[in-house]
Amino acid sequence: MDLKSKIILIYGPTASGKSKFSVQLAKKINGEIINTDSMQVYKELKILTARPLKKECSKIKHHLYGFQSVKRKFSTGKWLKLATEKISKIKKNKKIPILVGGTGLYFKALTDGLVKIPNIPIKFRNKIRNLQKQIGQKKFYKKLIKLDPLIKEKINPTDIQRSIRAYEVKVYTKKSLIEWFKNTKTKFTEDDFFKIYIDFPRQELLFRISSRVDQMLRQGAVKEVKKFLKLNVAPEMTPNKVIGINEFKDFLNKRSDLKEVKEKITIKTRQYAKRQSTWARGQMKNWQKVNPKALNQILKKL
C-alpha cells in the first residue's frame, strides 16, 4: 500500500480509537497529525474534548490542537485555511499529512471545498431553530421540502442540524443550499486522498464511551469546567456546546450529584456518536469503511 503521495483522512465517531490509530500509522509512514475536530482546537478544554495526551504528541508531531482561546470565534473557514497550510508544509518536509477527527464538516470542506454562504444574522438563525423546536422535526422537514424541493435527495428527514441549515439558507439567501454547493471548489482532487472511516460496532462503542466518562473524571474534568466557567465565555460561543460543560456546571451549583452528571454526559455522548455515524453513512460513501480489527491489518500491510 503506497501512501507516500497521499493525504490521509481518518474519521470515526467519538471514542472509536482514531487518535491511537493515527499515532501508530504516523510512526509507520513518517507522518504528522492534523486535528480535524472542532472542539479540540480550544486550549482551555483538554479533558472534556479528549485531546491527545502529551506522551502521544511528544512521539509524533501534532498540529492545530489546543491553540485557540475559548473567548475567540473560530470557523470552518479558519480551520480550512490553517489545515491547508499545514498540509503544504508537511508535504514540503517529505512527510505525510494525517488528518484525524470527528467533525464531518471539516473533512467535507477539505475534500469538496467550503460553501461561501453570506453570514446569516444570529437572531434570524435562532428564529429558525425555535420554529423547529416548536413544530418538531417531522413537520419542520415537510416545510423544508415544500420550501426547497432540491433538498429532498440530500438531507435525511431525521437530520435536524442540516435541515435547519438548509431552511435558513433558503429563506435568507433565496437560493437552495444545493445551488450554493454547486459553486463550491476545492484545491485538491479525489486522488490526493486516502480516506478511512472507522466503523465501530455499536455495543462496543457504547462501552468505550462509558469508560471515557470515568476517565475524564479521574483526569480532572470538574476542575477544568470550574476554570472554564470563571472565564465567563459568552453564551453564544461554540465552546459552551462541549458535552460536559452544562452537566458539570449543575454539579458545581449542587443541582445534580456526580452519578446523575455521569449518566447525562454518557447519554449525550452516545447521541453525538450516533449523529456522527448517521452523517458518515450519508456523506462518506467513497471512504474505506474499516472495523477496528481491520485497522491492524492496514498497519501490517505498510
pLDDT at residue number 283: 85
The pLDDT confidence band at residue 194, using thresholds 50, 70 and 90, is very high
Contact between 251 and 222 under an 8 Å Cβ cutoff? The reply is yes
The torsion defined by the Cα of 165, 166, 169 and 172, in degrees rounded to 10, comes to -100
Mean pLDDT (whole number) for 195-223: 93
The pLDDT confidence band at residue 184, using thresholds 50, 70 and 90, is confident
The pLDDT confidence band at residue 117, using thresholds 50, 70 and 90, is confident
pLDDT at residue number 1: 63
The pLDDT confidence band at residue 58, using thresholds 50, 70 and 90, is confident
Contact between 34 and 221 under an 8 Å Cβ cutoff? The reply is no
Mean pLDDT (whole number) for 194-222: 93
Mean pLDDT (whole number) for 254-263: 94
Q: Give the separation between CA 233 and CA 71, rounded to whole angstroms.
A: 6
Mean pLDDT (whole number) for 280-291: 88
Which of 165-169, 178-182, 193-197, 268-272 has the lowest average pLDDT?
178-182
Please say if the pLDDT value at position 93 is more than 80.
Answer: yes
The pLDDT confidence band at residue 201, using thresholds 50, 70 and 90, is confident
Contact between 86 and 7 under an 8 Å Cβ cutoff? The reply is no
Question: What pTM, to 2 d.p., does this model score?
Answer: 0.83
Enter the C-alpha cell of residue 212.
471515557
> Which residue in the block uniquely carries the three cell numbers 503506497?
2
The pLDDT confidence band at residue 126, using thresholds 50, 70 and 90, is very high
pLDDT at residue number 88: 96
DSSP the chain: ---TT-EEEEE--TTSSHHHHHHHHHHHHTEEEEE--TTTTBTT-STTTTPPPHHHHHHS-EESSS-B-TTS---HHHHHHHHHHHHHHHHHTT-EEEEEES-HHHHHHHHH----PPPPPHHHHHHHHHHHHHHHHHHHHHHHHHH-GGGGGTS-TT-HHHHHHHHHHHHHHSS-HHHHHHT---SS-GGGEEEEEE---HHHHHHHHHHHHHHHHHHTHHHHHHHHHHT---TTSGGGGSTTHHHHHHHHTTSS-HHHHHHHHHHHHHHHHHHHHHHHHHH-TTSEEE-HHHHHHHHHH-
1-45 per-position pLDDT tens digit? 677 789 999 999 999 999 999 999 999 999 999 999 999 999 999
Complete domains list, the chain, with CATH? 7-115+189-201+286-301 (3.40.50.300), 122-182 (1.10.20.140), 203-275 (1.10.287.890)
Partner residues linked to 198 by β-bridges = 290
Contact between 219 and 47 under an 8 Å Cβ cutoff? The reply is yes
Residues in the chain, how many? Answer: 302
Please say if the pLDDT value at position 295 is more than 70.
Answer: yes
Give the type of residue at 132: Q
Please say if the pLDDT value at position 102 is more than 90.
Answer: yes
